[in-house]
Structure 1
Amino acid sequence: MTATPPEWLCPPRASGWEADDLDHIPNLPRHTELIDGALIFRVRPQRLWHARVIRRLAAALEDRAPAGRTVEAQMTVRLSTKSRPEPDVVAARVAYEPDRTCFLPEEVDLVVEVVSDESQERDRETKPFKYARAGIRYFWRVEEEHGLPVVHTYELDDTTRTYVATGIHRERVKAAVPYDLDIDLARLLR
């Protein structure tokens, strides 16, 4: 008896999967990303530290978001036909739409990646490069340092289409962009 492989094992075209395919592939594992036409799956269960930082950082950003904005955890951003990564947190200039499955780069103010062991290279190199090329203005990378979150903030340089570091925040993130923020980082873990 031969088992039928899941549909997501074989792309429908030689060039790989496309961004819109993510909305139609049956039984696709949760938190699947598309990068350069390849499906990326979470390999290990998420650590509680990672989940808590994502959830509480999203809540802190949402508390300060101006009217007509939304902050979501783990929603994909359609960067191109071949790339639809899933940032850990997205702050976007759109109102809540219950049937939405992704954001477009021109709607996004900020993307946040909380680095984990399995995603270090993607979170530090691949995704920031792609976010910058797509024109997303602000990027934050959250690292774990002695059990606490450290936020590395970046802003897009329009000339080079790359991110420029704007700060490393160990106790608080105080920023005027993408909107007025003051976040006590230790509270993300309480």
Structure 2
Amino acid sequence: MTSLPDWMRPPRAEGWFAEDLDRLPEAPRHTELIDGALVFMMSPQRWWHSHLVTMLTITLMQQCPPGIKIGREMTIRLDSRNRPEPDLLATDSPVDRDRTWLAPEDVLLAVEVVSPESAHRDRTVKLRKYAEAGIPHYWRIEDEDGRPVVHVYELDDGTGSYAPAGIFRGTLRRPVPFDIDLDLDQLVAGL
């Protein structure tokens, strides 16, 4: 067994902090920070997942009104010990092109496409953390026999947690965070 590279050793007993991610150039792409621990996407990404995220990004970019931007591969600095990286997000805030993260108040929508290795985090941990950070909309997309199924959540301001707003198959039409009309099956057509 080989020893861990120095960059994988936490710099302090309490683990990693959000700003540490920007000082780890050797870390693999898509490294997240959850509760002070580095989380790596170690297994190769499935074609279905990658294609769906790409097509969803393009489609939402075409539908979003001026002032709203759709992004990928950007972390959200929820607090000093959490910087998850959703598969896709929407923001209506000015974007600093050199910054590597967004604040939760800048995020309108966080989208996670569930992979076998991320299922627990996407279904429970991120659901709770995004709500606690005040992100108003969260979508969790599951693979159901090759077809995307979108579990939509909206933040309940009274409780500070997400309330289910629907499970969508085939078509997703939503008035928030902007007018959205998706043919979900078309996003993965031809796969």
4+ long deviations beyond 2 Å:
3-8, 94-98
CA RMSD after TM alignment:
1.3
Residue 146 of structure 1 and its aligned partner are, at CA, apart by 1.4
Q: Give 3-state SS (helix, strand or coil) of 1:63's partner.
A: helix
TM-score (norm 1): 0.94
Query: Can you list the C-alpha shifts for 1:51-94, whole angstroms capped at 9, x where unaligned?
Result: 01111111111111221221112211000000000001110112
Query: How much does 1:7 deviate?
Result: 3.1
Identity of aligned residues (%): 50
1:42 counterpart residue number: 41
Structure 1 unaligned spans of 5+: none
Correspondence 1:69 to 2:84? no
Deviations 1:118-173 (A, max 9, x none): 11000000011000000000000100111100111010011211111111110111
- CA-to-partner distance for each residue in 1:4-33, whole Å, 9 max, x for gaps? 742331111111101111111131111000
What does residue 121 of structure 2 align with? 122
Counterparts of 1:139-154 in structure 2, within 5 Å, are 139-154=138-153
> Which residue number in structure 1 is paired with residue 24 of structure 2?
25
Inter-partner Cα distance in structure 2 for 1:96 and 1:66: 16
Structure 1 counterpart of 2:161, one-letter code: T
For 2:50 and 2:162, how far apart are their aligned partners in 1? Answer: 26
Alpha-carbon distance in 2 for matches of 1:100, 1:183: 30
CA contact (8 A) 1:7 1:26 kept: no
1:7 partnered with 2:6: yes
22-31 or 108-117, which deviates more: 22-31
- TM-score, normalised to structure 2's length? 0.94
